[in-house]
Structures are given as structure tokens and as C-alpha cells.
């Protein structure tokens, strides 16, 4: 019986660990979709680029995602209009729709066999009371040029009350895409090192256990930024985890995302139905088996759980916009991209283009809106909530320190997740294996 991520069944390319010192123009830390896309664009532009990955390529969120490649990101356009105004919503739609085109171009350039296929994407609700939310999203989407269509039926085996369709979105096999990007980086003269966890980033140097890279620029594509105190990322990001199962025996058309907090997400991969749901903050529900409700749901629609099942988290920004650009004013040569709020397939491409432009000294029309230095106004409420949670977990860690493990990063009390067999930090979502020594 298979288990773990369906995508990681694909054998991954192996790259050696970093040994000794090297000099380069850009060092990209992290071998997920963000790091590899950035390294691909930079090396294509003739920039000497080195990628350092802690383990193997795609081992993070990018190898565990659902991989809908879309600019339909929940009710994002309504949210952005309220928080930042119509211009921001328009920019978000533009940059993410350009990203789909760009991903398609890269796939063609690389001759990548990664199952990229155009499909419609649907947001749906099973509650009459929430149909209005879809209608509002439709009106805003149409006003910024998205041909969004409201429907009152769906091919999902669920009692749908309303559904909002964006045509011509896409999906792909994320790990095959990453493999193609990695091959492209190497062909363009870039270097990739795996099993090379960066322990420290300082003065344009990234240091691993056995080596060091000196670079003009360092890009943190580590999902959660390594350097998180400067820049205050520990309160500007929060994590949300979901579980995914694969099932057989039922086929659906298109990609579907529920808008309720407990809504499910669906897409096919070949003949296999992927179902994602059970959203929670990592490290806060250690005792619950989140797979059981998904498997029960699958059986209720006459699908058979196919064995693959996994949990994955992403980082959310308080205002729904990612952080892409300079890490902080005090570290001008350190760049980062994070906070994709569960929509990193297109946003990683948008971020990679932005970071590449910044490194090459070109203007980028989206630099200001995605800047980590943007004003925090609309985010203050969420940041206060994040801070309150952090303080609570820090106090918990301090009081139980002699008896229970705490996170070596900040000292928050860790929770043991039996289902995933790992310790989890409720503050910033880091995981630690059962056997890992803890402070």
C-alpha cells in the first residue's frame, strides 16, 4: 500500500552536498518551487547561481501540494479590494495570470513532461448563506477583467449551492516540474547542492556544516525565512496545515475549492482523486487524526482511499499578499519570498521574476505591492493575534522547559503529532523528527 505524497513517488534527481568554499553571484537557499524557479530565471539571464537545499529537492511544501496553477485563490479579490483597493486586486490578477503563461513557457522551453494541462477552476459553497460571497467575488473579478461565471450546479458529488468558475486555469505534476527546472539550472551553468542545510546567513555568506558560499546576493526561498527576528517575520507569518488523501473509483472534472473554513479541495491526477481539507494551525491539534474524516468522506461518495496520504502546511500573510523582495532595510543583499497563503504555484513564479529583476537592477511594476516593507495598516489586527499566540506558547515553553521539549528557535513548547510521528512548533510550524535531540 503506498503512503506519503503521491508526487514523491517520482524518483528525484540527486545532487551532492556542498564541501568547502565557493564564490558566486547569487546563492539561493531552498530547493522548492520558489528557489528552483528563481535559480532557473537567474541562470537563464547569465547570472552565476548556486542552490543550497537542506535535504532533497521538493521535500518541502512543493512536493506535498495540490498543484493547481491558477489565479483563482479563494475569495482573494474581494479581500484585496477591501484591504488595499481595486488597484491591488488588479495587480494580483495580472501578476498571477502572467505567471501561468510564464510557467507554460518554461515547460515548453525545458520540454518538461510534467502533465501541465488547462482546466477550469471552481470555488464552491454548500451553504445557501455563502452564495452571496461568491457573487461578490464574481462582480469584483469581472470588474478587473476576469471572465468569472457564477453557476448553480457542479460535477462534484456534493450538494453545491453555488459555484464560481474561472476558465483556462491549469494543473501540473509539481515534482516532475521541479526536476525539469533543476535540469535547466544545471544546463545553464548553475550549481545545485542537496543535503546542505544553511545554518547561518551573514555578511553575504551562507554557511552549511561542511561548506560556505560567498555571494553578492542571497535569496531565502526556505518557505519560512531563516532570518526571522530582523524583519519581524515571526509575527508577520502564521502557518496553516491541511491533510491530503488520494482516492480511486470517482472522477471529477476541473479543480474545486470550498470557500468555507472546513471546505474541501479536489482535483484529479490521472485516475486518482486528490482530496484536501482539515485545515488547522500546525502544532495545535496534536491528538486529532485528520485523515479519518477525509477517508470517511471519500467512502461516502463511493471512492476508495488509495493509500497515499500526507499533511502539508503553508505560511499565510495577514493581508493575503505574499512577501517578495528585500528581507529588511538592514539587510539589503538578502532577498526572500514567502507567505504564499496556500497559492504558491503561480506566486512563486511572480516572486522569482520580481527577485530576478531586483538582482539585475530592472524595475518591476509589482515590487511595491509585494514588498516586505509595505505598510502594515491592514495587517495590524492579525499581527496582534499572532503575537498573542506567540507569547502564550513561549510562556508554555518556559514553564514546562525541564519536562517537555521546546523549539530551539524561539523556545515555544512543542507538541507531539502522533499521526505524523513528529514534534511540531505551534509558533512557526517547524517539525522535528521523533529522535531529534531537543533543547
Ligand X SMILES: Cc1cc2nc3c(=O)[nH]c(=O)nc-3n(C[C@H](O)[C@H](O)[C@H](O)COP(=O)(O)OP(=O)(O)OC[C@H]3O[C@@H](n4cnc5c(N)ncnc54)[C@H](O)[C@@H]3O)c2cc1C
Q: Judged by CB under 6 A, which of 18, 28, 42, 66 binds ligand X? A: 66
Question: Nearest approach, Cβ of 296 to ligand X (angstroms)?
Answer: 19
Residues 267-286 that bind ligand X (CB under 6 A): 276
* 43 conformational bin, left if phi > 0, alpha if psi -120 to 50, beta if neither: alpha
Q: Which residue, 154 or 276, is less far from ligand X as judged by CB?
A: 276
Distance in angstroms (rounded) separating the CA atoms of residues 235 and 204: 25
* Residue 428, all three cell numbers: 512557526
Longest dimension (CA), the chain: 62
Q: Which of 205, 208, 174 is closest to 54 using CA atoms?
A: 208
Q: Is 237:226 a contact under the CB 8 Å cutoff?
A: no
What's the CA gap between 73 and 96, in Å, rounded? 10
Q: Which of 221, 252, 383, 407 binds ligand X (CB under 6 A)?
A: 221
Interface with ligand X, residue 68, by CB under 6 A = yes
Could you say which of 34, 119, 154, 358 contacts ligand X (CB under 6 A)? 34
Q: Are strands 162-171 and 149-151 parallel, antiparallel or unpaired?
A: antiparallel
- Closer CB to ligand X, residue 346 or residue 396? 346
99 vs 306, beta carbon nearer ligand X = 99
Q: CB-wise, 38 or 396, nearer to ligand X?
A: 38
Gap between the Cα atoms of 259 and 262, Å rounded: 8
Assess 173 for contact with ligand X (CB under 6 A): no
Q: Which one of residues 6, 67, 181, 275 is an interface residue with ligand X (CB under 6 A)? A: 67
Q: Measure the CA–CA gap between 35 and 60, rounded to whole angstroms.
A: 11
* Site membership for ligand X, residue 342 (CB under 6 A): yes
Binding of ligand X by 197 (CB under 6 A): yes
* CB of 44 or CB of 290, closer to ligand X: 290
Of positions 258, 263, 305, 344, contacts ligand X by CB under 6 A = 344
Which span sits near ligand X by CB under 6 A: 13-21, 119-127, 284-292, 338-346?
A: 338-346
Alpha helices in 174-290 (DSSP H): 174-187, 233-236
Decide if residue 348 touches ligand X (CB under 6 A): yes
65 lines the binding site for ligand X (CB under 6 A): yes
Q: Exactly one of 345, 352, 369, 425 binds ligand X (CB under 6 A); which one?
A: 345
35 binds ligand X (CB under 6 A): yes
Residue from 340, 366, 370, 423 in contact with ligand X (CB under 6 A): 340
By CB under 6 A, tell whether 312 contacts ligand X: yes
Query: Quick one: 143 or 214, whose CB is closer to ligand X?
Result: 214
Closest CA to 352 of 83, 95, 141, 52: 95
Counts for the chain of helices (H) and strands (E), in that order: 10, 20
Contacts with ligand X: how many residues (CB under 6 A)? 37
In the region spanning residues 232 to 251, those forming contacts with ligand X, defined by CB under 6 A, are: 242
Scan residues 45-64 and list those touching ligand X (CB under 6 A). Answer: 52-55, 59-62
Main-chain dihedrals φ then ψ at residue 105, nearest 5 degrees: -65, -45
**Other beta carbons less than 10 A from residue 244's beta carbon:** 23
Q: Is 419 left (phi over 0), alpha (psi -120 to 50) or beta?
A: alpha
Cβ 411 to ligand X, closest distance in Å? 19
- Which of 177, 198, 179, 163 is closest to 345 using CA atoms? 177
**Strand, helix or coil at 165?**
strand
Residues that bind ligand X (CB under 6 A): 29-35, 52-55, 59-62, 65-68, 197-198, 221-223, 226, 242, 276, 312-314, 340, 342-346, 348
Amino acid at each position: 500500500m503506498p503512503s506519503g505524497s503521491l508526487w514523491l513517488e517520482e524518483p528525484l534527481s540527486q545532487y551532492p552536498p556542498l564541501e568547502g568554499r565557493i564564490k558566486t553571484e547569487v546563492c539561493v537557499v531552498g530547493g522548492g518551487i520558489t528557489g528552483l524557479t528563481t535559480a532557473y530565471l537567474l541562470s537563464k539571464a547569465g547570472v552565476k547561481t548556486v542552490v543550497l537545499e537542506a535535504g532533497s529537492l521538493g521535500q518541502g511544501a512543493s512536493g506535498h501540494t495540490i498543484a493547481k496553477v491558477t489565479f483563482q485563490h479563494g475569495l482573494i479579490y474581494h479581500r484585496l479590494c477591501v484591504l488595499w483597493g481595486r488597484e491591488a486586486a488588479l495587480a494580483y490578477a495580472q501578476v498571477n495570470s502572467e505567471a501561468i503563461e510564464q510557467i507554460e513557457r518554461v515547460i515548453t522551453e525545458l520540454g518538461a513532461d510534467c502533465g501541465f494541462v488547462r482546466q477550469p477552476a471552481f470555488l464552491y459553497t454548500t451553504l445557501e448563506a455563502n452564495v452571496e460571497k461568491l457573487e461578490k467575488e464574481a462582480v469584483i473579478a469581472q470588474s478587473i477583467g476576469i471572465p468569472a461565471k457564477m453557476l448553480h450546479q457542479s460535477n462534484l458529488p456534493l450538494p453545491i449551492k453555488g459555484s464560481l468558475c474561472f476558465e483556462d486555469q491549469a494543473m501540473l505534476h509539481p515534482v516532475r516540474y521541479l526536476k525539469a527546472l533543476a535540469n535547466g539550472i544545471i544546463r545553464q551553468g548553475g550549481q545545485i547542492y542537496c543535503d546542505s542545510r544553511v545554518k547561518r546567513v551573514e555578511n553575504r555568506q551562507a554557511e552549511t556544516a561542511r561548506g560556505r558560499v560567498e555571494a553578492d546576493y542571497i535569496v531565502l526561498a526556505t518557505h519560512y525565512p531563516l532570518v526571522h527576528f530582523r524583519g519581524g517575520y515571526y509575527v508577520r507569518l502564521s502557518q496553516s496545515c491541511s491533510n491530503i488523501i488520494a482516492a480511486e473509483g470517482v472522477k471529477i472534472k476541473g479543480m474545486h475549492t470550498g470557500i468555507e473554513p472546513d471546505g474541501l479541495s479536489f482535483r484529479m491526477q490521472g485516475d486518482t482523486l486528490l482530496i484536501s481539507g482539515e485545515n488547522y494551525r500546525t502544532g495545535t491539534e496534536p491528538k486529532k487524526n485528520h485523515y479519518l474524516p477525509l477517508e470517511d468522506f471519500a467512502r461516502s461518495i463511493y471512492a476508495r482511499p488509495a493509500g497515499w496520504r500526507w499533511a502539508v502546511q503553508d505560511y499565510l500573510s495577514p493581508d493575503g499578499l505574499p512577501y517578495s523582495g528585500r528581507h529588511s532595510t538592514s539587510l539589503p543583499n538578502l532577498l526572500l519570498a514567502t507567505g504564499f497563503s496556500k497559492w504558491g504555484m503561480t506566486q512563486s513564479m511572480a516572486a522569482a521574476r520580481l527577485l530576478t529583476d531586483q538582482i539585475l537592477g530592472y524595475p518591476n511594476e509589482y515590487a511595491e505591492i509585494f514588498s516586505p516593507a509595505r505598510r502594515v495598516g491592514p495587517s495590524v489586527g492579525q499581527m496582534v493575534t499572532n503575537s498573542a499566540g506567540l507569547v502564550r506558547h513561549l510562556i508554555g515553553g518556559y514553564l514546562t522547559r525541564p519536562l517537555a521539549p521546546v523549539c530551539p528557535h524561539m523556545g515555544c513548547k512543542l507538541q507531539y503529532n502522533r499521526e505524523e510521528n513528529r514534534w511540531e512548533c505551534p509558533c512557526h510550524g517547524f517539525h522535528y523528527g521523533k529522535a531529534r535531540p531537543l533543547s
